[in-house]
Copies of this chain bind each other. A is one copy, B any other.
Amino acid sequence: LKETRLLFVGFGTVGQGCAKHLVSTKEYLKMKYGFKFRVVGIVDTVKGSILNDNGVDLSRALSVVGKGKKLEGSEFRGKKGLPPIDAIKTSDADTLIEATWTNLKDAEPGTSHIIAALKSRIDVATSNKGPLALNFTKLTRLAKSKKRHLKYESTVMSGTPIFNLKDHCLRGARINKIRGILNGTTNFILTEMVNGKDYHSVLKDAQARGYAEVDPTGDVEARDPAAKITILSNAMLNADISYDEVQKEGITKITLNDIQQAVCESKRIKLLAEAYRNQDGKYSVSVKPTLLPENDLLAHVDGVMNAVQFSMNVQPDVTIVGPGAGGDSAGFGLLSDVLSIHEANRLEKVKSA
């Protein structure tokens, strides 16, 4: 069995989450799926950069980074200090695990990492929403033209299966409509407001718990869920829409009074993402606060949990509910992608054989 050579670019909470799963399931993955791996590099703008085609010890890397030290110390042998793009081009990797931060302004540096990898005929698993939300068609076309895989399970609902669910479990079904609760921070805030707390005190609480960023505008102004519904629309409905076209409305104007009024009417206000094809063939894609009746399951997806509901031609709606954030979960999504890529490559060998 040939080893898959993995290169990490971005080794924060999510990259480390994936690394932990790889370490803890190594023997199982070999036995069960014939998946063997070697890490040929870890590159992070803060934690340093180490490249070694003979293998970088992943457990040691986790331990060193866990102690707050850099990856460029004497514990490691190999090429040190290379910036990401050079590392991608130089390394002997089969699969890039791209877990750098999301940037919805220009989708960098993630987009450049992905392009460099695909052009070097390296498969890509990414948790970075920016490149997929802003450059979906460009990147998926590039992957196709290079006959490489680009997987992005953890960009939406973290490690909760969405794209793999569609690809592997809903074969033969046509998805007509997607509805979802795609942002944990705002869902946490709206849930706490139902319990009588006002917006600003809940936001502070969410920041203290680490659910919300110090600058929470990306969440509360709906940019994060808008990025996710853009990716879903393109991947599941072939909508070919851009992030800018998504109708966005955040939760900053929702008052405690609005929330309580809804509860009195046996309803809930949720930041609902929706995408469907109109009669005229155009796509309607939006994220906005929406009143949901109590008999709508999405009204009961509370706290930091997220959900996606698929309406299909073959059967009534299917809804999947799970964590929408967290290093362990997003890291698991990356692992799922790496394993899917492994399997797809094996399948392609059949075709070419």
Interface residues of A (CB under 8 A from B): 21, 25, 28-29, 32-34, 158-161, 164-165, 168-173, 295, 297, 299-302, 305, 314-323, 326, 328-329, 332, 335-336, 339, 343, 346-347, 349-351, 353
Write the nearest CB–CB distance from A312 to chain B, whole angstroms. 8
State in angstroms the CA–CA spacing of A220 and B231 once bound together.
Answer: 43
* Docked-complex contact A332 and B347, CB < 8 angstroms: no
Contacts of A29 in B (CB 8 A): 171-172
* Docked-complex contact A169 and B164, CB < 8 angstroms: yes
* Docked-complex contact A160 and B318, CB < 8 angstroms: yes
Residue of B nearest to A333 (CB): B315
State in angstroms the CA–CA spacing of A14 and B67 once bound together.
Answer: 57
State in angstroms the CA–CA spacing of A315 and B172 once bound together.
Answer: 29
Write the nearest CB–CB distance from A339 to chain B, whole angstroms. 5
* Docked-complex contact B339 and A171, CB < 8 angstroms: yes
Contacts of A320 in B (CB 8 A): 318-321
* Docked-complex contact B322 and A321, CB < 8 angstroms: no
Choose from B32, B164, B314 the contact partner of A159 (Cβ within 8 Å): B314
Choose from B160, B300, B317, B346 the contact partner of A297 (Cβ within 8 Å): B300
What would 28 A/B residue contacts be, using CB atoms closer than 8 Å? A21-B314, A33-B171, A34-B351, A159-B314, A159-B315, A161-B318, A164-B169, A165-B165, A165-B169, A168-B168, A169-B169, A170-B336, A171-B336, A297-B302, A297-B321, A300-B300, A314-B328, A315-B326, A315-B329, A316-B329, A318-B322, A319-B320, A319-B322, A321-B321, A346-B350, A347-B350, A349-B350, A353-B353
Interface centre among A34, A172, A299 (most CB of B within 10 A): A172
* Docked-complex contact B297 and A339, CB < 8 angstroms: no
Write the nearest CB–CB distance from A140 to chain B, whole angstroms. 16
State in angstroms the CA–CA spacing of A299 and B301 once bound together.
Answer: 11
Which 4 pairs show the lowest CB-CB distances between chains A and B? A161-B169, A168-B168, A300-B300, A315-B329
Q: A315-B323, A319-B320 are in contact. List 20 more A-B contacts (CB 8 A).
A: A21-B172, A32-B171, A34-B351, A159-B315, A161-B165, A164-B168, A171-B336, A172-B335, A299-B300, A300-B300, A314-B328, A316-B322, A316-B329, A318-B320, A318-B321, A318-B323, A343-B347, A346-B350, A349-B353, A350-B353
